[in-house]
Structure 1
Amino acid sequence: MLDRALRRVDEFCTAYDMRVPILMAPMAGACPPALAAAVAEAGGMGGCGALMMDPDEIAQWAAEFRAASKGPFQMNLWVPDPAPPRDADHERAVTEFLAAWGPAPARLSADLPVPFADQCEALIEARPAVMSSIMGLFPPHVVDRMKAGGISWFATATTVAEALQAEAAGADAIIAQGSEAGGHRGAFNADKANAQMCGSMALVPAIHDAVGVPVIAAGGMADARGVVAALALGASAVLVGTAFLRAPEAAIAPAWADAIGRAQPDDTTTTRAFSGRLGRSLRTDYIAATECEGAPAPLPYPLQRSATGPMRALGAKENNLACMQAWAGQSARLARNEPAGEIVRSIWTEARATLIQ
């Protein structure tokens, strides 16, 4: 079994110009080029979550990465949800509730920060090694254009059914996102995300057995033990996110980084309170308040994201974890305050030694 795992790793790394089967998760808002370049220089693949970036910012990110590394990188986009319904009374209740946590939003917007079509075009122009999707599938015309440009497509899936849809649509690899993962859940249907919480130990082998393309394990991979387990279960590589957030190159708020280092698995929780989309976060005072009796239910995405924007910005500015958007996976405590390149090298050195015993 371990021999087969190493063969899968070698084939995957050769295909994507990597020396180490570790990909940096494309964490929107926490993926500076310096962090991605450090991962790539250590032999992995850098990552950029481009959700909030306009075309000029996408081009600038790619340029800064390439100035620091000749390694591969992926750029990720959310596939948009349908326009959310509007409910003035509900929106008023949420706004009033949030007044206790920061300045009220001037207005709530259901508009995407940047048109999805413009972002897709900018990613194709930037020519990363990989474009990755979450929350759904790229449209066929986008897939055709990226493939024509030599760009591979990695599709995030939280169920076997989603993985099969992605493979049929032309995905070159499947990112199997277990429920342990920090940040937003990648469920294609936002309303079903709470019910689709399969952990990596069950999801990775199930998707590996169902599809004919490589599987990349995401969720819970923060040290060599997680990597060995994922590869033994059928993954060809792993996607690592929270484990990089304490690296100096990540440059996140100190309160967030410190809390990650202290967090046990049950110190994280899934919530829609920040964006309206389900995601895994550290359990903060704000999240606890949203779970109290009488608190209004979160608005759908992106209305909730618009509503919490001022609070999240204030939390980051004041280094106040209580109202900060502090995404973290269940293996957060394993994150080390070390340079990202050292994290990559140490994880793979130990994992490989175990695999070849």
Structure 2
Amino acid sequence: MPSFKRSFETVALKRWCAEHPGSAVHALLKQWALPGSATTGEACLRVAVRSGYLNFYVKGQSAAKLTCRAGGPSISVHSKYVEGHERGSEIAAGNATQSYIEFGSADLRKPETALLVPGWIKTAETYASAEKRFVDDLVAANAGVLDLEMGLPASDELGSERVAPRMDLVLIEPASGSEPAIAFWEAKCANNGELRAKGNADPKVIGQIARYVDWMRSETRATEVRDAYRQAASVLTELLELAGHSADAECSRLWTMLANSKAPKLSLQPGIVIGNYWPRGSTEGIASERMRQCAKSFEKNGHREKLEKAGLQLHQVGPDEMVLALPRLGGLGA
């Protein structure tokens, strides 16, 4: 069975970047907005460590993938972003293929490639849905964010389905005792049909969370996740200097705490955070009252009650007096 891993060759990347200032790699990293800070025009990307590469997100939408091998780094970008085909354009609508363009080390050294990076990001942002933008709002309000779109590998523990669902956010919770905790959150806007079900049926999200918990219940898997996220925290702290960020940032303190932890706790039961508002820049219906109406019907029609009876911990944000900071899940379970 494939293992859950988080790793990246930071030493090799630092060496290459020192030899090639002004590269497209620098152009990507300088736009990294740290967890706990809002995204702006000059710093609009989030970074997530994967198994051997980094993924860059703009408003929750994957924008570019950075790999570093023996021959140097490479960046993979969706062809739509490279060609400037924004969401809703006639060309984008007529091309549903998932094709990517890879820029190798020689291309990344060229100043003209670095000049292309803002265009990739601008185009990728047009594909960011309300829910993805909600996730970015949560990252801005929670310095402990460690990962986005935590995808679990295929596993025999899941039977015929084999692939566990993703968790939208992974957070470090400061330790109340000697060790920090790693907590997991699923983020959904109030209009997401997976939060609802008619009659006696269960909302789809209940099964989603159950499959995730089943995957994590194995002590082998729990150990993999602990080890992987300690490694991810170490990678992120090492990238700070390369990106020009201060090591005094709150997220850096939390990453260092986890990287140095011997036995961090895991919150096996994820929380669900529900956004009852249209995030800035949403195109699905920001001028309407639909999200507010969905938030009301979620309560009125008993959907919240179903989720709570299933033992799920819910946290709602907006539309009034918005507070995006997530509560502690407690590190219970493993």
User: Shorter-chain TM-score category?
Assistant: under 0.3
Q: Which has the larger radius of gyration?
A: 2
Higher helix share: 1
Higher strand share: 2
Normalising by structure 1, what TM-score?
Answer: 0.27
